[in-house]
């Protein structure tokens, strides 16, 4: 099949459909532009009157393409973002024209929302990236393709343009089943999971409110597949019966649901230390620890979870990118306290 478009002029967004042209114009333009813009972005441009066929503006994406149609696509300058840039320090591991990879500290909210309209990672990225943001969906903003909870630290990748955003979004939606995407976390949990490794395959859904999640039965309306693979890395204060008061566990995500690791580890009886949402009933276990370790555990301010490794395919070069970040200072102090007196 011939390339359905040929350049009609030196202007980048003037295109002529050849004899193979067919289908709705929104779907056709999305494919013809090589994935440069999402279909929703193309639909938005059509509705805004930015697309003309044979010199006449078209406002409906369902209109059919005809061989020989000449398209002109006007590309307005990306709008300024609603969130404002803020000079918040960032720990950047890598950056180019397409992506930025960074380590999110604990306590930083990723995206502005109710109760957190400022002081977020998005505000920091808008300030840091400046004009290098070419626009996501027509707006100068960073493309968030995955999130970490406010009190979870670790490695994140963010898109800086539409093409990168679409490519990375597809990788995360695929959960790494057909590509190099990989996400690994370190968690410090109460007790010690049975065996040295295992898989938790338990669907998740809402737990009665907008944020919290719970394990659901197969077939429940809101049940979504969730799979976590875990491996015990260290055990603390192990007993003669092979149980332990706590353990460090590596968790690899096969899916990426909200609060997945936190809910899954609590589901098998080993909630994360510091997790007040899913492990509050285990706080008294700190009384079994030596005084120094007990004090550190009791003042630990968050769930003990760090996204230490992220791998993905670069959206422009196709290269597999791999990044790691050691656990932050607060988790390091927690682990050292649990090791002491063991």
Residues 6+ apart with CB under 8 A from 299: none
How far is the C-alpha of 134 from the C-alpha of 140, rounded, in Å?
Answer: 6
The string of pLDDT tens digits covering residues 63-80 is 888 888 888 888 766 665
Give the pLDDT score at 225: 94
CATH of the structural domain 5-73, one choice from 3.10.290.10, 3.30.70.980, 3.40.50.300, 3.40.50.150: 3.10.290.10
Residue 94's pLDDT band (boundaries 50, 70, 90)?
A: very high
- Tell me the pLDDT band of 81, cut-offs 50, 70 and 90: low
**Cα 251-255-257 angle, rounded to 5 deg:** 95
Q: Do domains 5-73 and 182-339 have the same CATH topology?
A: no
Confidence of residue 1 (pLDDT cuts 50, 70, 90): very low
149 is catalytic: yes
Residue 71: strand pairing partners: 15, 53
- Per annotation, catalytic residue among 26, 69, 98, 149: 149
User: Alpha-carbon distance 131 to 124, whole Å?
Assistant: 14
Residue pair 222/286 in contact (Cβ under 8 Å)? The answer is no
Residue where the block lists tokens 């808008």: 126
pLDDT at res. 108: 95
More confident site: 221 or 288: 288
Query: Looking at the predicted structure, is the pLDDT value of residue 5 above 60?
Result: no
**Nearest-angstrom CA–CA distance, 31 and 58:** 18
Q: Spelled out in words, what is the top-level CATH class assigned to the domain 182-339?
A: alpha beta
CA–CA distance, 97 with 158 (Å, rounded to integer)? 11
Are 286 and 294 in contact by the 8 Å Cβ rule? The answer is yes
Pull the structure tokens for residue 23.
Answer: 């289908």
Give the CA-trace dihedral at 324, 263, 125, 101, to 10 degrees: 20
The pLDDT of residue 60 is 85
Q: Over 50: is that where the pLDDT of 9 sits?
A: no
The average pLDDT across 145-154 equals 96
Distance CA 124, CA 68 (A): 47
Are the CB atoms for 161 and 134 separated by under 8 Å? yes
pLDDT at 7 over 50: no
338: nearest Cα among 293, 296, 300: 293
Q: How is the chain split into domains, by residue range?
A: 5-73, 91-161, 182-339
Rounded to whole angstroms, what are the CA distances from 196 to 159, 193, 243, 248, 263? 36, 7, 12, 11, 19
Q: Residue holding tokens 């960073």?
A: 142
Quote the CA–CA distance of 281 and 293 in Å, as a whole number.
Answer: 19
Q: How far is CA 137 from the centre of its chain?
A: 18
Cβ atoms of residues 314 and 99 within 8 Å: yes
Q: Flag whether pLDDT at 304 surpasses 60.
A: yes
């Amino acid at each position: 099949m011939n390339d359905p478009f040929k350049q009609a002029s030196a202007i980048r967004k003037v295109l002529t459909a050849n004899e193979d042209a067919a289908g709705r114009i929104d779907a056709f333009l999305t494919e013809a532009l090589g994935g440069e813009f999402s279909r929703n972005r193309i639909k938005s441009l059509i509705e805004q009157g930015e697309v003309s066929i044979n010199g006449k503006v078209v406002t409906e994406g369902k209109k059919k393409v005809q061989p020989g149609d000449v398209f002109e696509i006007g590309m307005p300058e990306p709008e300024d973002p609603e969130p404002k840039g803020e000079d918040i320090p960032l720990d950047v591991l890598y950056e180019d024209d397409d992506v930025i990879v960074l380590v999110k500290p604990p306590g930083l909210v990723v995206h502005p929302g109710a109760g957190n309209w400022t002081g977020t990672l998005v505000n920091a990225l808008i300030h840091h990236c400046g004009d290098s943001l070419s626009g996501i969906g027509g707006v100068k903003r960073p493309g968030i393709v995955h999130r970490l909870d406010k009190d979870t630290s670790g490695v994140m990748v963010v898109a800086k343009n539409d093409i990168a955003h679409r490519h990375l979004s597809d990788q995360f939606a695929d959960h790494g089943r057909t590509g190099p995407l990989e996400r690994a976390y370190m968690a410090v949990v109460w007790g010690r999971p049975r065996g040295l490794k295992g898989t938790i395959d338990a669907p998740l859904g809402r737990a009665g409110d907008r944020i919290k999640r719970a394990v659901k039965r197969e077939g429940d309306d809101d049940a979504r597949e969730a799979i976590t693979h875990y491996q015990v890395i260290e055990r603390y204060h192990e007993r003669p019966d092979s149980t332990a008061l706590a353990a460090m566990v590596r968790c690899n995500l096969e899916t990426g649901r909200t609060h997945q690791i936190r809910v899954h580890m609590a589901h098998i009886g080993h909630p994360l230390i510091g997790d007040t949402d899913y492990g509050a009933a285990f706080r008294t276990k700190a009384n079994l620890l030596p005084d120094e370790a007990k004090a550190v555990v009791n003042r630990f301010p968050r769930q003990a979870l760090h996204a230490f490794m992220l791998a993905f395919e670069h959206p422009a070069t196709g290269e597999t990118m791999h990044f790691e970040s050691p656990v932050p200072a607060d988790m390091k102090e927690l682990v050292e306290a649990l090791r002491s007196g063991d």
